Amino acid sequence: MRNILLLGFGLASICCSTKAECILADKDAQKDVVEMVALLDRVSENGKVMFGHQDDTVYGIGWKDIEGESDVNKVTGDYPAVYGWELGHIELGEEYSIDSVKFSNIRREIISAHNRGGINTISWHLRNPYNGESSWDKTPGSVAAILNDEEVQAKYLEGLDRLCDFFVSLKDDNGQSIPVFFRPFHEHTGSWFWWGADQCKPEEYVALWKMTQDYIKDERGIHNIAYIYSPADVEGDKAKYFERYPGDDKVDVLGFDSYHRDEEKGLSRYTTSVAKSLNLMKEESNRRNKPYVFCETGAEGIKMDRWFTEVLYPLVSASDHTPAYVLVWRNAVEKPTHHYAPYPGHPAAPDFVEFMEKPEVLFESELVEEFRKGKK
């Protein structure tokens, strides 16, 4: 519906109902960033949901660093429409990511995915600049230190600069910057990361978000980014979802992460809480004129052979205003039980093909046909 109201405002207004609302968090965002956000909106409003997979083409079960290889493609014959990439350790100036992938290979695969018509979204499990510990460090006051302690702040910005250099290096064959989503400081309503709820005050989290965003767009002049807000599953609790929300003018896409951890015990907690959160997303998406996505999910090891069609599909397709994408986590080459998409021979593979064939579910070639070429 929203789109119809907007035709008069041209590109920048595709996903908004008044011109004032059309401006993304980055007011100078490239035109194709605006288009990328608007594409999410169009997908949702057509009752479709894109399938995404983390680190899809850099490794999988039994292989690594084979250009264009993909467990999802080997099982379904198509690529995911959305690719998640993890840039943890880029802040250290290292050659390899937290998951032991060369950053140059991640860059290459982001460019290839973009050239095929796919969408890229970036997460960042950065080390704690306060003490050098991992993202999972729970030292309270780390965010406050970044904000208030000059030395810690300088260390953080040094790392952020390296992330920015990576963003800048994302160029297509014509030298144009490639638009990507960035999902900083995710799952912060939980308390397992140093930026989590027990470790910082809401206003400190918001200040860290703003500092980061302002640095990227204003200090570094980087305009190929749209920003996704991605708390942990709050089970539909609106107050909790927005307690640490940076603001409508700082966020372009709403989302959340939730995993099906009690798979063997049945569906209860996961399906109930995810359904509630998706409902909340849908309502707030309408109210705030922002698309919404299911940023991270999955059942580790996929022990239910029909998980994709019987658990995930009913959740993400049960609406005329679906999440624009759902992304399952990575197929860890170094720890084969840590996988979230089927690979050839996996007992859930036939069901995954059925999932792909559902009319609502878009893999990459369908996204390209229907929404890029077809201009739905």
Q: State the residues that interact with ligand BMA by CB under 6 A.
A: 86, 88, 98-99, 125, 329-330, 338
Of 125 and 372, nearer to ligand BMA (C-beta) is 125
Considering the complex, what minimum distance in angstroms separates the CB of residue 19 from ligand BMA? 39
Rg (CA), the chain: 19
Minimum distance from residue 86 beta carbon to ligand BMA (Å):
4
Label residue 368 left, alpha or beta by phi (over 0 means left) and psi (-120 to 50 means alpha).
alpha
Question: Three-class SS of residue 259?
Answer: coil
User: Which residue's CB comes closest to ligand BMA?
Assistant: 86
Which residue spans within 201-330 are E strands per DSSP? 225-229, 253-257, 292-297, 325-328
Closest approach, Cβ 186 to ligand BMA, in A, equals: 10
In angstroms, rounded to a whole number, what is the distance separating the alpha carbons of residues 291 and 49? Answer: 12
Residue of 171, 237, 244, 172 whose CA lies nearest to 203: 244
Q: Write the DSSP string, 101-145.
A: -BHHHHHHHHHHHHHHT-EEEEE-----TTTS--TT---TTHHHH
Shortest distance, position 55 Cβ to ligand BMA, whole Å: 7
Pick from 253, 260, 256, 252: which is nearest to 234 by CA?
A: 256
Instruction: Please identify, using beta-carbon distances, which residue of 259 and 363 lies nearer to ligand BMA.
Output: 259
In the complex, least distance from residue 271 CB atom to ligand BMA, rounded to whole angstroms: 21
- Which amino acid is it at 11? L
Least distance from ligand BMA to the Cβ atom of residue 329, Å: 6
Comparison of 29 and 98: residue with beta carbon closer to ligand BMA: 98
